[in-house]
Structure 1
Amino acid sequence: MITFSDIEEAKRNLENVVQKTPLTKAPFLSKTFNSEIYLKKENLQLTGSFKLRGAFNRIAKLDKRRRDNGVVAASAGNHAQGVAFSAQYFNCEATIFMPEATPLTKVSGVKSYGANVVLTGENFDEAYEASLKFCEEHNKEFIHPFADDEVIAGQGTIAVEILEKIPDLKQLIVPIGGGGLISGIAIAAKAINPDIKVIGVVASGARGMKESYKAQMPIDSKAVRTIADGIAVRDVNPKLLDIILDYVDHIVEVSDNEIANAILFLLEKHKLVVEGAGAAATAAIMHEKIEIEDSKICAIISGGNIDVTMLSQIIEKGLVKSYRKMNLIVTLMDKPGALMHLTEIFKECSANIVQIDYDRDSVKLEFGEAHVTIALETKGEEHQKDIREKLKQNGYRYKQI
């Protein structure tokens, strides 16, 4: 059983290596919900994630002989970077198994610390099985990403740092994948303040831990699909479920759309680059999945290692949803001056054209017609309504996409 003493020992092991990441008030969220809402920014940790804490504590506690023989891990990315960094620090070999679809940012991050990377399997659980087989064949030390006492104790140091600064905190909101982070945080938080509420957040596409919490028995997810790859864990570990049942007060879930909203919100309003798993706790607050009013809350931003392609897609969709971008397909006569007349309408409406494509060959077109696919910068819902009205007044057929 992990105790608060184990977490205090982990804190000593991490001194002068792991950063005490910023804990700051979130002004926009606090004002919106009339509460004191804080963000613990583990996305600003050395490897871009909280995972460094547990990985370093685990490897630090290995005896030199086992450590020198090399370590092995399986990870969707963040634990991998934590293990790779720690192995480099202790000058030992690390072999990391990662799912084939792992974002390039995370793969590159692992390799930058000198670790060997093996890409295998469609998800974490398949990579995990391959890593165990390799470990057994080569007699290496396996560093589990969450179901390990030293790893859990390392993650628990986050709660100690938070409650040192805000001892009267009422709620801690924590993302859940395998459950190592929330287990360590909950054990530490309840030891310091038994009245504090610890609330877990899962992604709707990886609901195993929430279903298991409700049933009070392990129920694995049948399928895992979410943009929050850091918490996309299929199988529920019985040991961690027992800890969560004992220490966690409630578990909620957030959809991928809600996570994407939180990523964009944190980027735009708080200037923070956050991955899907890292945004889950903030998404739960933003979309009122927890009781917030007149409370003092801290959301854990667990990581910031998001693939830039995914970030680009989230920004693009966010601009469309917030009426700041408008995509249209307009049908017009394929003759000289027709496109200029169309662009004059957008000029009159003060809509800036950011992209345009001209198609005269589609089989859906009548002879003598053309399709113009156009992207506009707009200033809100009313502005887009004005543009649509202008197009109708000028006799254009169009489709908003």
Structure 2
Amino acid sequence: MQSEQIETFLSRNHVEDLNQAVQRLSGTVRHTDIIPSQILSEMSGFSINLKPENLQRTGSFKIRGAYNKIASLSQSQLDKGIITASAGNHAQGVAYAARERGAKATIVMPQITPPLKVDATRAYGADVVLEGTVFDESFAYAVSQAEDNDITFVHPFDDYDVICGQGTIALEILNDVPDVTDIVVPMGGGGLAAGIAMAVKNFKPDVHVIGATPEGSPAWHDSFAAGHVVEATSVNTSAEGVAVKRPGDLTFSLLNRYLDDLVMVSERDISEMILLMLEKHKLVVEAAGAVALAALNRLSTSQVFQSAPGKHVIVPILSGGNIDTVTIGAVIQRSMISRGRIMQFGVELPDVPGQLAAIANLLATLRANVIELNHDQFKASGHYRNGVLLEVTVETNGPDHIALILDTLRTKGFRVRQEY
């Protein structure tokens, strides 16, 4: 985006534009109700109130920006058709909004997009084109198609009307949680964070807005450090919804002005929060949607947060819940392993009757629930001497329970090693 365009948007009447977005979205988007989280409040020591945009229409916040943008288009722009690029959530928002406005929508998605998101986008009536291995390649293809065929392009994040639509979330938070002190928001391309920060600083500037990104997605960290947009050389995170190599020009300018701080979160914390939301709140949250939750563990690294006096009332934004069953199963298993809730060990045994029963009796005594057994003669290092490798996966009650199981087996003379 040209610097002149950016300056024009920066000088706009943000309060008026945000209020107009609220009017456009009225009756279309859901006002997602705040959910107080006792478990996260106890874990963090602060008052935590969830903003569950995973319960939004189409399963994420993206419909807000997409609908506000498409509602602002003229009839001639709609008649040309709409095209965009998206890894999933923006795609569904655009497809839904285009259907409501009677416009033809084409969505370009990376070839690695989960089938759930592809099918959901098509279900809203859009044409889906799978092009490119990463978002940036899909984006370039969509832009070229828009230019070559005179189609109206809707940017997934670096667009002022899209940003204003996302900013309506902040207005709901300020109304529903009047004593809020901190809003934590995930950052990919920056549209959500820019909208939230712009709204907060224009309506209640004493509230802090803290951005959160995965450690494997360093573009925002590097861009703020450099003072200009920096493209990441690589992005490696399970949170594909925020896996953007190059931040937006407009979103960077807005966030450079309005964002209070940025924290980086680990993949382990993201997975842990997905599982915690399932267990404690019965909420399905995708990896990108759990980034703000994971940031609660890293607020100690924020000087802005630590230096603020008084009680903290924090609202993390759960940005989406569009996660396929295969992915969520893998996330749950990884989280349970990291918590010490699942453990696998291997033990070499002589291939004679009674050995398996001896292991099973010990595990029963130790109250370790067996999930899976694999009895394989050919994996054992001593299989030429009539040996067998027994691999056992058990449900456990944490690291101390795992240590007790392994120590007991070794005390009984079994040569055991922990696999995970």
TM-score by length of 1: 0.96
User: How far does the alpha carbon of each residue in 1:190-209 deviate from its partner, in whole angstroms, 9 at most, with x for none?
Assistant: 11112111111111111111
1:81 partnered with 2:92? yes
Residues 112-150 of structure 1: CA distance to partner in whole angstroms, max 9, x if unpaired? 111111112121111000111111222111110011111
Alignment of 1:1-400 (within 5 A): 1=9, 2=12, 3-288=14-299, 289-290=301-302, 291=305, 294-362=311-379, 364-367=381-384, 368-400=386-418
The more displaced of 27-36 and 88-97 is 27-36
SS in 1 for 2:70: helix
Q: Evaluate the alpha carbon distance shift between residue 381 and residue 15 of structure 1 in structure 2; reply closer, same or farther with a 3 A threshold.
A: same
**Contact 1:222/1:234 (CA < 8 Å) preserved in 2?**
yes
Q: Distance in 1 between matches of 2:290 and 2:186?
A: 8
Distance apart, 1:183 and its partner CA: 0.9
Residue 377 of structure 1: how far off its partner (Å):
1.2
CA distance in 2, matches of 1:362, 1:33: 45
Q: What amino acid does structure 1 have at the position aligned with 2:313?
A: K
In 2: Cα distance, 1:253 partner to 1:8 partner? 32
Q: Is the 8 A contact 1:7 1:153 kept in 2?
A: yes
Q: CA deviation at 1:267?
A: 1.8
Partner amino acid, structure 1, of 2:337: V
Residue type matched to 2:242 in 1? I
Q: Secondary structure at the match of 1:121?
A: coil
Q: Secondary structure at the match of 1:37?
A: strand
Give structure 1 stretches of 5+ with no counterpart: none
Q: Give the deviation of 1:363 after TM superposition.
A: 6.7
Please tell me whether the aligned partners of residues 262 and 286 of structure 1 are also in contact (alpha carbons under 8 angstroms): no
Structure 2 Cα separation of the partners of residues 188 and 300 of structure 1? 15
Tell me which amino acid in the other structure corresponds to 2:349: L
Cα distance in 2 for partners of 1:364, 1:309 equals 34
3-state secondary structure, aligned to 1:346: helix
| Cα distance in 1 between the residues matched to 2:379 and 2:120 | 44
RMSD across aligned C-alpha pairs, in angstroms? 1.5
Secondary structure of the 1:40 match is strand
The residue identity in structure 1 corresponding to 2:417 is K
Secondary structure (helix, strand or coil) at the match of 1:38 reads strand
Partner of 2:3: none
Which letter does structure 1 place at the counterpart of 2:283? L
Query: What SS does the aligned partner of 1:101 have?
Result: coil
**Partners of 1:199 and 1:227 in 2: CA distance:** 21
Instruction: Number of aligned residue pairs: give it.
Output: 401
Contact 2:381 2:387 in 1 (8 A): no
Name the aligned partner's letter for residue 354 of structure 1. I
Question: Deviation of residue 210 (structure 1)?
Answer: 1.8
- Contact 1:4–1:187 (CA under 8 A) maintained in structure 2: no
Q: Do the aligned residues in 2 keep the contact of 1:75 with 1:97 (CA within 8 Å)?
A: yes
**AA in 2 matched with 1:375:** T
TM normalised by structure 2 equals 0.92
Q: Distance in 1 between matches of 2:326 and 2:217?
A: 22
1:337-361 superposed Cα distances (whole Å, 9 cap, x missing partner):
3222221221222211111111112
